[in-house]
Amino acid sequence: MTPTASAPTLSAAPTDQPSAPSSAILATYKRAPMLITRGEGVRLFDDTGRAYLDFTSGIAVNALGYGDPGIARAIEQAMVSGLIHTSNLFRTTPGEALAARLVDLSGFAQRAFFCNSGAEANEGAFKIARKWGRALGGPAKHEIIAVRGGFHGRLFATVAATDRPAYRLPFRPLVPGVHIVERDLGDLETALDRDTTCALIVEPIQGEGGVRVLEPALLQAMRRLTQERQIAFILDEIQCGLGRTGHLFAFERAGVQPDMVTLAKPLAGGLPMGAVLMTQPFADAMAAGDHGTTFGGGPFVASVALHVLDRLADPALLAHVRAVGAVMADGLAAIQARTGRVRAVRGTGLMWGVDVHEPAAAVIERARGLGLLILSAGEHTLRLLPPLVLSREDALAGLDTLEQAITTG
């Protein structure tokens, strides 16, 4: 084919400048400039020895902080068997034990599917819902509905369910049959169709979309509608689940039970792991060969996850999250009242969003300069996701630094 004048050339200017020009890593992230060399508790250290109080937890992954001795022991013990990976062609004990434990703790599920990330868990849930929907209502029952402000991952079906134009537009065409609807009961009443919808996916607390806590009444109405219309109700608890709200599952707060729940971020203590928990009818829809993964649920990650899950399910840890969460709630409300620079505060447990007038990136940079690491969730929203083992004292210290960062602009 002869190139035409209008054809884009391979040397077209990149739209994003890499933040660290010396790095050979593809610049899909704007990385902070310091070089992280060590972690301990709720602190990270750079190569100059400078400490940072970490309210990012590797994006909601490091629930137990850094250098946790229990995780270190679990890793050592997992190595004793000599099994890091066997493939899913063989049975191993850790994966079976982890599935049983998750199913038991969930209070609703009968089966677990393991994979390696959050997006993979949601893609798996979508495939399970489609196969189930097809068996129930024929090929027309395949549409997946997601809601405004949702984030479900960066793969083709999950990005189609993700409400961020910048994540979607450059990659069209996305997976067909995936739609985004307003977070509104009336709109959902219209959109959720018994004959054509197979699944509704929502985050009980939207993370990337600005830390929006869905009203229990809305989640309950979603549950009622999906039940009446035989639509799979999938809760994406990849960010808000596994203890972050002060409950093992965020859905417990709303008093609803889903048909499937997806998990990932904190599940294996920083090792990559995702999971889909589902009720029996969804498990029954899937037969051998319908879905797969080479790595998912391997003995090494599953052993570590078993340890992490035990720790996260500990009622004492969950009570601690609720208590320190209350400290955060009070502290953030006080910052809002004192500074006049905070438009809104949203969240629960150890998951908080703070709307500011100026660009979030500017506050994040000042906070980093003051030794506090925080995230954004949209242009003007700061997001706080500290490790769940955060002490009251460190919570107060972090709030103090945050207030400084907000006011020194």
Ligand X SMILES: *Cc1c(COP(=O)(O)O)cnc(C)c1O
Binding mask 167-206 for ligand X (x = CB under 6 A): ------------------------------------x---
Of 68, 64, 66, residue with least CA distance to 388: 64
b/e sequence 361-381, b meaning 16+ C-beta within 10 Å: eebbebbbeebbbbbbbbebb
Least separation, in Å, of the C-beta of 291 and ligand X?
16
Find the residue with minimal CB distance to ligand X.
Answer: 118
Measured in degrees and rounded to the nearest 5, phi and psi for residue 86 equal: -130, -15
Instruction: Round to whole Å and give the CA distance between 366 and 347.
Output: 22
Q: Does 117 bind ligand X (CB under 6 A)?
A: yes
Interacting residues with ligand X between 120 and 139 (CB under 6 A): 122
Candidate residues 53, 119, 178, 399; the one interacting with ligand X per rule CB under 6 A: 119
Candidate residues 98, 238, 384, 395; the one interacting with ligand X per rule CB under 6 A: 238
Q: Count CA within 13 A, CB hemisphere, residue 89.
A: 3
* Residue 152 Cα distances to 118, 120, 123, 129, angstroms: 8, 10, 9, 15
Stretch that binds ligand X, among 14-22, 234-242, 282-290, 385-393 (CB under 6 A): 234-242
370: which 2 tokens? 């003051």
Whichever of 249 and 366 has its CB closer to ligand X, that residue is 249
Inter-residue contact 345 to 333 (CB < 8 Å):
yes
354: which 2 tokens? 């703070």
Stretch that binds ligand X, among 124-132, 236-244, 253-261, 378-386 (CB under 6 A): 236-244
* Residue 46 Cα distances to 29, 56, 324, 390, angstroms: 19, 15, 27, 20
Q: Does 381 bind ligand X (CB under 6 A)?
A: no
Candidate residues 57, 92, 197, 239; the one interacting with ligand X per rule CB under 6 A: 239
- CB burial of residue 20 (10 Å; 0-12, 13-18, 19+): middle
Least separation, in Å, of the C-beta of 387 and ligand X?
16
Q: Does 236 bind ligand X (CB under 6 A)?
A: yes
Q: What is the largest CA-CA distance in the chain?
A: 68
Candidate residues 118, 133, 243, 331; the one interacting with ligand X per rule CB under 6 A: 118
DSSP secondary structure, 207-252, as one string = TTTT-EE--HHHHHHHHHHHHHTT-EEEEE-TTTTTTTTSSSSTHH
Candidate residues 152, 223, 244, 247; the one interacting with ligand X per rule CB under 6 A: 152
323: which 2 tokens? 């208590």
Count of residues engaged in binding ligand X, rule: CB under 6 A: 15
Whichever of 43 and 253 has its CB closer to ligand X, that residue is 253
169: which 2 tokens? 């537009």
Binding mask 261-300 for ligand X (x = CB under 6 A): ---xx-----------------------------------
Least separation, in Å, of the C-beta of 373 and ligand X?
17
> Which residues face 373 on adjacent strands?
54
Stretch that binds ligand X, among 29-37, 90-98, 111-119, 396-404 (CB under 6 A): 111-119
Inter-residue contact 279 to 259 (CB < 8 Å):
yes
Candidate residues 207, 270, 347, 387; the one interacting with ligand X per rule CB under 6 A: 207
Whichever of 276 and 335 has its CB closer to ligand X, that residue is 276
> Which residues face 44 on adjacent strands?
39, 52
Candidate residues 151, 251, 282, 352; the one interacting with ligand X per rule CB under 6 A: 151
Interface contacts to ligand X, rule CB under 6 A: 117-119, 122, 151-153, 203, 207-208, 236, 238-239, 264-265
